[in-house]
Each structure stands twice: as C-alpha cells, then as structure tokens.
Amino acid sequence: MVYLIMSSAGSRNQGNRSWYVKAIAFFVASTSAALSFGLILGMIGSLFRSETRAAAASLGAVGAIIVGAADILGRGIRLPQVDRETAQRMMHWGAIRGAVANGALLGMGFVSRIGFWLWYVVPMTALLAGDPLVGAIVYGCYGFTRGIAPLPLGARVLKNGGGAASLRWILDTRQHLHRLAAAQLMVAGVVVAVGVGT
C-alpha cells in the first residue's frame, strides 16, 4: 500500500507529484468505495426480517468468540479470503490513477489479503444492521481507517530514510496487532451476544 503510493510511476503530468497527493487520492477512493459498498450491504440487509438478522448476528457472535479465542491461544483458524495483494501493475497506471484504483480496492477489503478475522465484523455489521445509512457509516469507518494509514506510515518511511526499517517495524508489531485484533473480535462477539439476548 505505502510502497505503491510512494513509488508508482507517473505519467508526463503526474511524475513529480508528491507522495502525499497520492496518499490523499488513495484516502478519498478508499473511503468513497467503502461508503458505497456499506450502503449497498445495508440496503440488502433491509430486505430480511429483523428476526432473521438477529439470528444471523447470534451465530456470528458465537463464531467471533470461538475464532478470537483460538487466535489468542495461538491456534488460529485459517481466514477465508482472496490470498493476494492488489495488482502491482497499478504502479504503472500513473501516480493518481494507481492510487485511486488501489484505494478503492483496499477500501472494500475483500478483493485482497485481509490478515485479521476482525475485518469480517465490518461487512456483517453493515449487512445485519438492515439500514443503508448504518451500513455506509460502518463500512465507511473501515475505509476511512484503511485510507488514512498511508499518511503516518509514509511519513515514517521518509523519516527512516527508506522502506527497510519501516517494513521491519511493521513486521515486528504484526504479532501484537494480531492478538489485539483477536481480543477485539472476542469483545465484539460478547457485546453482540449480550445485545441480541436482551
């Protein structure tokens, strides 16, 4: 993500654009795509009865607690996902166009490697809320968070004078983040289970 933004080839009119302009384009595309997809999921969810959505939420809550506990105990369950990165060829689409395409794809999340079970809370919540506005807000928050990430990460890369040290820092913190996400998944499961049960 950060590598693509900081190194995408530019066209004649885009070659000298600063990395933060590409990061902003990535951010806007990520947030917009997520808002749109969340809106659609909320609309689809509204077609189901509230009892059906509550039953699905209960099952999802139990699953979240089990998967979160397994992850914390080091017995992680394999993620159902598209196990690939976004296409590297986007680096050659031009600085802004590549950042926008990459941002839109990552803002939706499911078209590339996910990494954390916690992500599944996003589309499930957007769908089971049964409300287009709530769906857009929930998914939009994910797209916003994913989209804003290149700004501090890119600044860190520049501060360290290159990508190697920053990549090492990201890899070093990944295991801690994985456990934190698993704990958050368990908490989300408990909250939903209690909410549906009351």
Q: Is 125 exposed, middle or buried (0-12, 13-18, 19+ CB in 10 A)?
A: buried
* Closest to 71 measured CA to CA, from 192, 172, 186, 169: 186
Find, among 136, 129, 112, the residue nearest to 60 by Cα. Answer: 129
Where does the pLDDT of residue 134 fall: very low under 50, low under 70, confident under 90, or very high at 90 and above? very high
Domain with 114, as residue range(s), is 2-197
Mean pLDDT (whole number) for 153-168: 63
- Residue pair 79/63 in contact (Cβ under 8 Å)? The answer is no
Output DSSP code: residue 112: S
Give which of 140, 131, 125 is closest to 196, Cα–Cα.
125
Residue 26 DSSP SS3: helix
Give the model's pLDDT for residue 33.
94
* Sign of the Cα pseudo-torsion (113, 117, 120, 125, in order): negative
- pLDDT, tens only, 73-130: 888 777 776 656 666 676 677 778 888 888 888 888 877 767 777 888 889 999 999 9
pLDDT at 55 exceeding the cut of 70:
yes
Specify the pLDDT at position 165: 61
Q: Supply φ then ψ for residue 63, to 5 degrees.
A: -60, -40
pLDDT per residue over 1-13, tens digit each? 555 555 544 444 4
Q: What is the mean pLDDT of the chain?
A: 79
Backbone angles phi and psi of 76, in degrees to 5: -55, 145
Instruction: Give percent above pLDDT 70 in the chain.
Output: 72
The total number of structural domains that make up the chain: 1
Give the C-alpha separation, 192 to 198, whole Å: 10
Q: Please check the confidence at residue 170 and state whether its pLDDT lies above 70.
A: no
